[in-house]
Structure 1
């Protein structure tokens, strides 16, 4: 059974379409030095490695990592090498992000309780005044 092969290069519009982002976003990552496509005249030509980097940048963004954090982790990768340092760094970033989100979740839960209590006090005060439509 033949499996479709991946292209050896990608255009900016192909990557934008595949990842559902704008070409402007890809150029932004280029300007930040995260992607370095080849050039054929004015045309950008992205390699499979560029595609993988873009995928990792977008995953890092979804996880709440800064571009600098994503860059640091991506730059640690060495194909064919033991990437223990990269994996440990990624684990540390993930754990840190999880701790931050847990704290934010706790803060939101407390805020929701405060809002519910405030709302109920207002409803009770209105009821004491004889107002029934709240």
Structure 2
């Protein structure tokens, strides 16, 4: 379903099979995100047609899931990409949301670093104890 000319690259489309394969998820996962309204492919009869926007949103959804965000938080984040930019109040809102997300991610990074350091210390103690027993 992909169109090929350079001028049509912006209008390229993908099937559910192509999108699922590209992102390493099942068709069911893709349909689930559609049912939740997180992506909205065009329908041509019974066929789902995915555009660049759908692929971008799916990538953001999957990244958010990998980072441990709940789906409603992911919805908020990806919806920011659709907010028309240009009005001062909208830009200020988006920047505030970006600051909140960044602060949350930085805290998660600190928490992960601390947990990894604790695991490393515990592992060293276990290995030392094991070596004493040998």
TM over 0.5: yes
Question: SS where residue 6 of structure 1 aligns?
Answer: helix
Shift of 1:96: 1.0
1:73 and 1:86 in contact (8 A); partners too: no
Residue of 42, 56, 65 corresponding to 1:38: 42
Q: Does 1:54 align with 2:58?
A: yes
Name the structure where helix makes up a greater proportion of residues: 2
Q: What runs of 5+ residues in structure 1 fail to find an aligned partner?
A: 127-133
Displacement of 1:47 in angstroms is 3.2
Q: Indicate how the Cα distance of structure 1 residues 84 and 19 shifts in structure 2: closer, same or farther if over 3 A, else same.
A: farther
CA drift of 1:99 comes to: 1.0
State how far apart, in whole Å, the 2-side matches of 1:80 and 1:109 are.
42
Greater Rg by CA: 1
Alpha-carbon distance in structure 2 between the residues aligned to 1:73 and 1:42: 29
Q: CA RMSD in A?
A: 2.6
Is the aligned partner of 1:78 residue 2:83?
Answer: yes
The verdict on how the C-alpha distance between 1:15 and 1:81 changes in structure 2, with shifts beyond 3 A counting, is farther
From 81, 101, 124, the equivalent of 1:93 is 101
What's the TM-score once normalised by structure 2's chain length? 0.72
Of 17, 29, 32 in structure 2, the residue corresponding to residue 28 of structure 1 is 32
2-11 or 31-40: bigger deviation: 2-11
Q: Which residue of 2 aligns with 1:69?
A: 73
Q: Give 1:56 shift.
A: 2.1
Residue 56 and residue 111 in structure 1: after superposition, are their counterparts in 2 closer, same or farther (change >3 A)? closer
